[in-house]
Amino acid sequence: MDENCIFCKIIRGDFNTDFVYENEYLVVFKDINPKAPVHLLVVPRIHVPSLNELDDKNLLGELMLGVKEAAKKVGLKSYRTQINTGKEAGQEVFHLHIHVLGK
Ligand code: AMP
Ligand code: ZN
């Protein structure tokens, strides 16, 4: 838990965010500023600032499976995934997340 991190606060339940899907490793919620008709964020429960700080292969696998499960849950058969890593690549929230974009 990082006290200054918006995603940590969401995970803690501070904003009563509706989770599209969740399990012991991750939560999935809708992006507040969607860039596609369906835009989800797959977010690990632990605070990892970006992909550059992730060494846990098991968590990496769980996150990708989370993408698949969340897509299935909302009825997306076709979708794109994106991970922005670092400011210059457009990362704004420094708590690792995978964008899932579809129609
Ligand atoms: P990135 O640019 O990869 O760091 O993506 C951060 C994403 O988080 C952006 O698409 C934002 O719209 C989204 N975002 C920021 N704050 C919130 C929030 N409170 N709830 C849902 N999504 C958010
Ligand atoms: Zn965080």
Q: pTM of this prediction?
A: 0.98
Pairing mode, strands 98-102 and 79-82: antiparallel
Task: Give the pLDDT confidence of 26-44 residue by residue, as tens digits.
Answer: 999 999 999 999 999 999 9
Determine the atom of ligand 1 nearest the C-alpha atom of 39. Answer: 10
Decide whether any atom of ligand 1 lies within 6 Å of the 31 Cβ. Answer: yes
Is 97 catalytic? The answer is yes
For residue 76, the CA-to-ligand 2 centroid distance in Å is: 27
Task: Give the pLDDT confidence of 46-96 residue by residue, as tens digits.
Answer: 999 999 999 999 999 999 999 999 999 999 999 999 999 999 999 999 999
Determine the atom of ligand 1 nearest the C-alpha atom of 17. Answer: 20
Residue 73 amino acid letter: K
Decide whether any atom of ligand 1 lies within 6 Å of the 46 Cβ. Answer: no
Closest listed residue to residue 5, CA positions, set 86, 99, 100, 92? 92
Decide whether any atom of ligand 1 lies within 6 Å of the 81 Cβ. Answer: no
At the top level of CATH, which class does the domain 6-102 belong to? alpha beta
Closest listed residue to residue 22, CA positions, set 43, 39, 46, 50? 43
Domain residue spans in the chain? 6-102
Residue 23 and residue 61: Cα distance in Å, rounded?
13
Determine whether 18 is exposed, middle or buried from the number of CB atoms within 10 Å of its CB (0-12, 13-18, 19+).
exposed
For residue 33, the CA-to-ligand 1 centroid distance in Å is: 7
Closest listed residue to residue 70, CA positions, set 12, 23, 7? 23
